[in-house]
Each structure stands twice: as structure tokens, then as C-alpha cells.
Amino acid sequence: MASRNKIPETLERVCDEFSKLPGIGKKTASRLAFYIMNLPREEALRLSESIEALVENVRFCSKCFNITESDPCPVCSDPGRDQEVMVVVEEPNDMFAIEDIGEYHGLYHILGGAIAPLDGVEPEDLHIRELIERIREGTIREVIIATNPNAEGDVTSVYISKLLKPLGVKVTRIARGLPTGSDLEFADKTTLKKALEGRTEE
Amino acid sequence: MILREISLRNFRNYLKLNLRFDNRLNIIIGSNGVGKSNLLESIYILGFGRSPWATLNRDVINFNENWSTITGHAKDRNIEVKVKFLSNGHKKAEVNNKTVKSLSELLGLFTETLIGHEEINLVRGAPSYRRKLMDMHISQIDPEYVQCLNKYNKAVTARNKILEKLKGDGVVGGKVLLESWNDILVQNGAYIIRKRKAFLDKVEKQCKEFFSFLSNEPEKLDIEYSPSFEYSSVEAIEEDYHKKLNEKYSRELRYSNTFYGPHRDDLTITLDSRSMRRFGSWGQSRAASISILLASAQLLEDFYNCKPILLLDDCFTDLDEIRSRRLFELAPQIGQTFISSPKPLSFTQNTDGFTYKIHPSGVVERMQ
């Protein structure tokens, strides 16, 4: 019997690893693998080195669960930041978005998601217990909840405030309203309605 | 908006069809299976971007082709709406040759109401039909309602899951977690209840008028909103809802189920104080469901400030001569009317408006 030509095992292993990534199927995985195979040696190795560095050096901050290269993270270890206010967000990206404004100088706490029983995310899967411990320490005066305005974000916000209020801390939630820089007439009805409800004195 | 003209390409049994319509009344007759409902379906799609029946997108494309378009021209405003179906199941819509981002942008252009055979379920069917009617109409005029409904439904599912766990081994967060979902349930549920109540208050009066006009008899039709729990006043819904949940906690825990809220709402429809669902005849039930739908169509007119389009798909079945004649008189006064019927309607002679006859070959002929 004639032997059939097969993809080398090493290449197949790379394909398998790629296809485990989100949004990547078998076809794309093999295309990526072939592409890398044809890269100059240094460039291909730079990719594997950067992945190694990511795994070795980047971790979660033990205080706020932000992603960081040093533990505690730069925010948590900066004594110049306001130690009495804390913003609670779902994901590290949300924190970076707020950090980018450059106007907030308090602390953060990253939950690592929102309560979503339909996706199997229960409160114990989030960093809520750690949040309560941080509040118990007593320095925080106000907790600002900045979860997303969907059912999961809403219930997470309610749940957290029910747990935190008995500890004597002020709990607020960020407002919903119009994006600045755009015209009123382009806002969708729901946003406009929420903006009207949450109006402030001029 | 009034639909002046429609052109169909490869739509169901129509390879190529251009029709002009009358402002008031259009009658489409033809034997069973020649494509009367298909024509009404295509008009419906212009209004909603989807078929009224649970069909796959690609099913509307002619068997021998791989794309299909429906184009409609408005009469009173210079607007052209086009919906295109592709064989891969995708569809897109254009308004004046500009692709819209979401099909929901079509809502409010051709504001349509379909009254077909199944709509009798509004009176005779399960409560879910009546909730669906309210949801469909309110969603069209209030986008926040849709969001509240989504959040509410999630809260119901989540609560049931937590109740089940509380009954068993318990759950981290326990009662606090349940109470948090209660807050979401009540907050969104109260919004839904208020909106439904307001909708019914507006529909009821109009509906009664239509019904007594159709039946021509001193029968009294009443529609009453029956929420799943009593509340003392519209302002106190939240408070009373919370109270109910606390009161019935052990019952809900026993069955791991949420028993109170808009997902258990119903409408009570009575004729001379007797339940229509249990005692009404088919004809009376049909007349009542038609009245409800005509009244909600009228409500859309108030909101969008333009006359609705009525699609009456073979809905004269069960109606006697007087009621049929009266419906035929009433509908064109409310909006541009399209009527499909398998046989010529005896009372339609000497009326203005267009009559089209569809032949088994698919040829559509204008009758004089």
C-alpha cells in the first residue's frame, strides 16, 4: 500500500493549540501555523518569547485583581492616590477606560465579571469576598459601582450594595446618560430618557 | 404612510410582479394556494422587516432563485423601502437606497397591523397570546420597554434557579442574592405593568366602540387587565410587589418558581360580564379580537402621526353577513386596507377601490 503524506506532527500540535483560542477555527488555525512556519526565525521566536513573558510576568494584583507585572499593582501601591474612594468594575478593561480619563485618583476593585446565573457565574466566582474584606479595613468612605447597565450588571450592583451598606460605607452607582460631543437628536430614545431622569442642577 | 406601489422579485410564487394600490381599499381574491397570503406577507415584511409567520428567511425566496426583493413606494411621502433576502439566510433593508443599520429602523414607516386567521387566539387562546399582543404593540412605541422585558425575563430565570438551590444545598449569597434579583424583577416588572396598564386604558375605549359598531347589537364588551397580584395604586406597584414576594416566599421556594409578575399577567375579556373565552361564540370571539387589533392599530396612528395599514388576511370566516359588511365599511376608515378572500365577497360590488384576482398560474389581474 502506498503511504500517504500527512501533516507533520509538530505542525499539527501548533494547529491544535491555535484552534483552542476564541474565534479561531480549524482553517484559520492551520493558516496561522503555516504563516508562522514561513516567518524569519527571529520573528517567530519573538512571538513565543512574548507569550512566555506574558505567562511568567503578568498576574493579578492580590489587592484589586487588576492585571499587573508587579504585585501589588502600581495603583494599589501608590500612596499618592486617594485611599478613601474605590471604583468597582467588572473587567480590567473597564478600569483602564476610567484610568484613561485621568480625572479619577482613587482605588479600584475588579470583580472579574458580573453575576450571570444563565452563564453559570455565581457570586462566589467573583472577587466579592475580597471586596468586603477591603471595605472592612475601614479606610474607604465611598464605593462607586461602575458595572454595565444590563441585567447582570444591575443585579451585581444591587447585590454588592446590599452587602456593603451595613458596613457603613457610602455606595453609589455611576450615572447613565448622553455621550458628550454628539448631538442630542442622534441619541437613542432610552438613553435620552435616562439622561432626562438623571439630570443635575446647573 | 400609504403604500402606493409594490414590486416583488422572486418572492415566493411571484417571479416578477408590480402592483399599484388604492388609498383606501384593496381586495385580493383567488382560490386556495394561489398566493393571496404571500402578497399580504410581502406588505407585512415592508413594515416589520420579517415575516409574520415563523418562517426561515430563505423560505420566502422562489424555489428556482437565490435572492428575492420586495420594494414598496409610499404615496404621501417620497419614500421607498426595499427588503432583500439572500439564499444564505441574510437579509438587508434599504430606505431610499440607503442601507439601514438595523431592521428596527423600518418600524414607524409603514405602520401595519395584520389580522389573520390565528389572531382569534387573542380571545380563545392561552394568556401568552394576550401578553404577546401587548408586548408587540408597546415595543413598537417604547424601546425601553423591550430592554425592561429582557431584564425582567432574565430575572425570572435567575430567581427560579436560585430558589431551586435555596431549597437544596443552598447557594453562596443565599437570600441576599435572591433579594437582589427581586429588586431587578420588581424594578423592571413595575415598568412593564405600568406600560401595559396605560396601553389597555387607551385601547379599551376604542375597542368597545369598534365592537359595538361591528356587532350592531347592544352587547357590552369589556377588557380588563388582570395582573398576577393586586396592587393598591399605580404608585405603589413596587411596594406591593415586594410585599407579595415576601409573603409568598415559602410557596415559591417549595415549587422553585416565580409566581408573580408580568409573565403571569392576563387580560379578562367579557361580553355582558360573561367570559368570552368560555362562553363566546366563534363569531363573537372573532369580532372581539378584530376590534382589539383595530384599536391598537389606531393607537399606532396617534404615536407615529400617520394612518396605519390594515392587512385582513381571510378574516371574514366565522363572521355573519352583518358583521362582515360592517368590518368592510369600518376598516378603510381607519387606514389603507388590504383584504384577501378565497371567494368574491357578496357585498363588495359597487365599491370603489381596487380588486385583484390572482389566477392559479400566478397572473394577477385587475378586475373592473
How many C-beta atoms lie closer than 10 Å to residue B261's C-beta? 24
Query: What are the CA-CA distances from residue A176 to residues A69, A147, A191, B139, B189 (Å)?
Result: 33, 11, 7, 21, 20
Query: What are the CA-CA distances from residue A83 to residues A95, A101, A141, A167 (Å)?
Result: 16, 19, 9, 17
CA-based nearest distance A158→chain B, Å: 6
* For testing contact with chain A, the best of B149, B151, B177 (most A CBs within 10 A): B177
Nearest to A190 among B147, B155, B173 (CB): B147
CA within 13 Å, CB half, A4: 2
CA-nearest of A194, A148, A193 to A173 is: A148
- Whether residues A90 and A45 fall in one domain: no
- Whether residues A122 and A167 fall in one domain: yes
Chain A residue whose CA is closest to B160: A117
Interface of chain A toward chain B, CB-CB under 8 angstroms:
115, 117-118, 122-124, 150-152, 154-155, 158-159, 162-163, 188-190, 193
Angle between helical axes of B282-304 and B174-215 (0-180°, round to 10): 110
Residue type present at position B217 = E
Judging contacts by C-beta atoms under 8 Å, the chain A residues touching residue B155 are: 151, 155
Q: What is the rounded average pLDDT for all residues in chain B?
A: 90
Q: Is residue A187 part of a domain?
A: yes
pTM: 0.81
- CATH number of domain containing A40: 1.10.8.420
Predicted confidence (pLDDT) per residue in B97-107, tens digit: 999 888 888 88
DSSP-derived pairing of the beta strands A142-145 and A170-173: parallel
Q: Is residue A146 part of a domain?
A: yes
Angle between helical axes of B143-167 and A151-164 (0-180°, round to 10): 60
- Whether residues A87 and A179 fall in one domain: yes
Chain A residue whose CA is closest to B148: A151
Predicted confidence (pLDDT) per residue in B62-119, tens digit: 998 999 999 999 987 789 999 999 988 899 999 999 998 888 888 888 989 999 888 8
Predicted confidence (pLDDT) per residue in B326-356, tens digit: 999 999 999 999 999 988 877 776 678 899 9
- Whether residues A45 and A97 fall in one domain: no
- Whether residues A102 and A42 fall in one domain: no
Q: Is residue A70 part of a domain?
A: no
Those residues with Cβ within 8 angstroms of residue B122's Cβ, 6 or more apart along the chain or in another chain: B129, B130, B133, B288, B289, B292, B293
- Whether residues A93 and A185 fall in one domain: yes
What is the spatial distance between Cα A30 and Cα A12, in angstroms, rounded to a whole number?
8
- Whether residues A53 and A87 fall in one domain: no
* Cβ contact A122–B184 (<8 Å): no
Chain B residue whose CA is closest to A158: B180
In terms of residue numbers, what domain contains A95?
79-201
- Whether residues A99 and A130 fall in one domain: yes
Nearest to B184 among A158, A163, A193 (CB): A158
Q: Is residue A65 part of a domain?
A: no
Per-residue pLDDT of chain A (202 residues; tens, 9 = 90+): 567 777 788 888 999 999 999 888 888 999 999 999 999 999 999 999 999 998 888 889 999 999 998 888 999 999 999 999 999 999 999 999 999 988 999 999 999 999 998 888 989 899 999 999 999 998 999 999 999 999 999 999 999 999 999 999 999 999 887 777 667 777 777 778 888 887 878 7
- CATH number of domain containing A143: 3.40.1360.10
Q: Is residue A72 part of a domain?
A: no
- Run of H or E including B309: strand B309-313
Q: Is residue A25 part of a domain?
A: yes
- Whether residues A35 and A89 fall in one domain: no
* Cβ contact B151–A151 (<8 Å): yes
CA-nearest of B71, B89, B48, B64 to B12 is: B64
CA-based nearest distance A169→chain B, Å: 18
Those residues with Cβ within 8 angstroms of residue B333's Cβ, 6 or more apart along the chain or in another chain: none
Q: What is the number of structural domains in chain A?
A: 2
Nearest to B162 among A117, A124, A193 (CB): A117
Residue A83 DSSP label: T
Task: Take residue B356 and report the three cell numbers written for it.
Answer: 385583484
The answer on pLDDT for B194 being more than 90 is: yes
Separation of first and last alpha carbons in chain A? 86
Q: Is residue A3 part of a domain?
A: no
* Cβ contact A122–B176 (<8 Å): no
Those residues with Cβ within 8 angstroms of residue B129's Cβ, 6 or more apart along the chain or in another chain: B121, B122
Contact B336, B347 (CB under 8 A): no
Number of CB pairs < 8 Å for A and B?
A: 52
Please confirm whether the linkage preceding A72 is cis (ω < 30° from 0): yes
Q: Is residue A68 part of a domain?
A: no
| A189 CB burial (10 A radius; 0-12, 13-18, 19+) | exposed
Those residues with Cβ within 8 angstroms of residue B349's Cβ, 6 or more apart along the chain or in another chain: none
- Whether residues A88 and A156 fall in one domain: yes
- Whether residues A174 and A105 fall in one domain: yes
- Whether residues A188 and A150 fall in one domain: yes
